[in-house]
Each structure stands twice: as structure tokens, then as C-alpha cells.
Amino acid sequence: MVNLDDIKLAQRRLEGIAIRTPLIPYSQDDNEAGQLYFKPENFQPIGAFKIRGAYNKIASLTDEEKNRGVISYSSGNHAQGVAYAARELGVRATIVMPGNAPRVKLDNTKALGASVVQVGNGGEERRIKAEELAAEHGYTMVPPYNDETLIAGQGTTALEILEDLPQVNTILVPIGGGGLASGVAVAVKLTNPKVRVIGVEPTIAGDAHASFRAGHMVEFPAEQVGQTIADGLRAQHLGDITFAHIQNYVDDIITVSEDEIKEAVRRLVFGAHLVAEPSGAVAVAGYMFHRHELPDARFSVAIITGGNVEPQVLTRILTEPSMVPA
């Protein structure tokens, strides 16, 4: 299991690499609801939090492992994180991406110098292809979430929140494969166990929610999770490592609808002047539309995990009528 020392080591490695993103207060009509802050990880050099875990993982490798090159599999943001970290560290990177990867994420990954191999749309297909290539060429694997060193890197997000807002009561974090939620929860619970950590994911990709409730890992079909607009949260199941951390440290997991995710994107643009991809807006949607499922809190933080959204997708979200009651 990841411990606090692991996350503090990651924080030192990331100095000068990852941006210490600020906490941005959000004005709400309902002042009695408490104060909400955004943690805008869309401000990172790659437009997403994934740089934290990817850099920490690659920086921790031996010279021999770095010389062999690294490989990963990702729908987009982790791909960019690995490509960026590999370029900074002088390491060759190969990324297996789905055929339906957003063009902006695919192009950015290639622009950062990584070699890209595209396969079908299922998460398991990407993983299997990456493992085949690793075995064939001797590449070192940099998993998208199921890795303790990577989890420690993601946990640095929470250290910053706790340092900048010591009075925080609740932190909401999106869940895909569970790497960010695991790292955040470890950092929080081993620093101030009174702070609640709430995972949020799309209802149609709610495998983590189902697993949390069942007490064992539940897998969702690729055809179902592929329908969510939150392309960064289309993992079919948690990893065994992330599930163990979530079971031990996360307080609860809730789900949000597709319409709620899109409305959160709209409100971030028009109300906070922040551009978030749908995956990045999931925690905000959880706070805005499911407050009745959350513990009472005077100070809450919603992590905006990324802002790499296709222009046509953003245009469609901003111009279509809201389906969420006012």
C-alpha cells in the first residue's frame, strides 16, 4: 500500500515539473451550502493531472529500464502525461491508444514525441496490446492507474489541497481506473482522517460505485462505458491495487448522469470561466447535483482533472439546451 512518505517523495520529484494549481473559490446562489473550491488540474502543462503520476513513475525507474523505453495504454490524458514525462527525462515512449481517442489527445501525444499504436475501443484490448509490445521489445510498463508509484504521484494533488485549505471538510474526485482517487484518499486520510473523500463517476460507467457497494470488483462491458461523454473515465473496472486503496481510504462513491456532466461543463465555462473536458467536470457535477448524497461540509473542493476537450464536443455542449432542472 502507498504511504505518506511515498507521496511526499513524489512531491519532491515533481518540483519544477507539475504546476502547483491554485484553489479557486466558486460563487454560488445558495450561500448556506458552504464554500466550494475548484482544484483546476486542467492548468497542468498537458492539461490534466496525469503528469503527476506519469512523471513520478518514469523518474523512479532505473537507468536500464529507462534505456529500454517505456510503454503505456491510455484513452488520452495518461498518454500525454507519459509522453511529456518521457520527453523531459530523455526516454523513448510508445502509447497504445483506442481507435476512438479524441483527436486533440491523440495529436498532443504524438506532438510530445511518443510513438502511438491504435487498437479497438475496449480498455482490455489496449492493455493486452501494450503487454504484448512490452514483452516483444523489453519496454517498461507505465500503467494508467494500477501502480503504487503512479498512485503516489497522483496523491500530490491532495497534499496541495490540505496545505492551501487546512479547514477543508470534503474533497470530491473523479474515478476512472481509480489512481487519482487512491492517491488523494491516502494523502488525506494519513494527514487528516476527518476530511471526507468522495469519488464521483458517470452512472453508465459506474463500475467503481458498483464495486464499492458490492465489496468486490465489478466489471462493466466496454460497449456500455464507451457511451459516456467522459472519455477519460471509460475504464471497465478498477485495478486490484486501486480497489484495495479505495476500500481502505475512500469514504463513498456517487454517480452522475450524462446530462449532469454536460451541465457542469457549461457552468464551469459560463460561471467560473474554466474549460473542463467532460471527465474533468464529473466531480463538479457530483457537488452541484447530488449534494443530498454528500456529508455536510463548510468547505469542499472538487478536483477538475483535465481540460483536453474536442472543440466540436465543447461547442455542442455549450449550445445545446440544458436537460438538468434549474
Tens-place pLDDT, residues 277-296: 999 999 999 999 999 999 99
259 and 289 housed in the same domain: yes
pLDDT in tens, 119-142: 987 778 889 999 999 999 999 999
pLDDT confidence band for 29 (50 / 70 / 90): low
69 and 117 housed in the same domain: yes
The set of cell numbers assigned to 215 is 465489496
pLDDT confidence band for 101 (50 / 70 / 90): confident
202 and 288 housed in the same domain: yes
pLDDT the model gives residue 122:
75
Torsion of CA 135, 99, 177, 163, to 10 degrees: 100
The pLDDT > 70 percentage for the chain reads 98
pLDDT the model gives residue 207:
98
Which residue intervals of 204-255 are DSSP H helices? 207-214, 222-225, 240-249
35 and 166 housed in the same domain: yes
Q: How many domains does the chain have?
A: 2
Residue 152 pLDDT > 90? yes
Residue 98 pLDDT > 70? yes
84 and 154 housed in the same domain: no
235 and 134 housed in the same domain: no
The chain-wide mean pLDDT, for the chain, equals: 95
Cα separation values, 289 from 81, 304, 311, Å: 30, 16, 25
Coil/strand/helix, residue 307: coil
pLDDT confidence band for 27 (50 / 70 / 90): confident
121 and 252 housed in the same domain: no
What is the greatest pairwise CA distance in the chain? 59
CATH of the domain at 106: 3.40.50.1100
Range of the domain at 63: 51-141
- Where a domain ends, among 89, 120, 141? 141
pLDDT the model gives residue 100:
86
174 and 244 housed in the same domain: yes
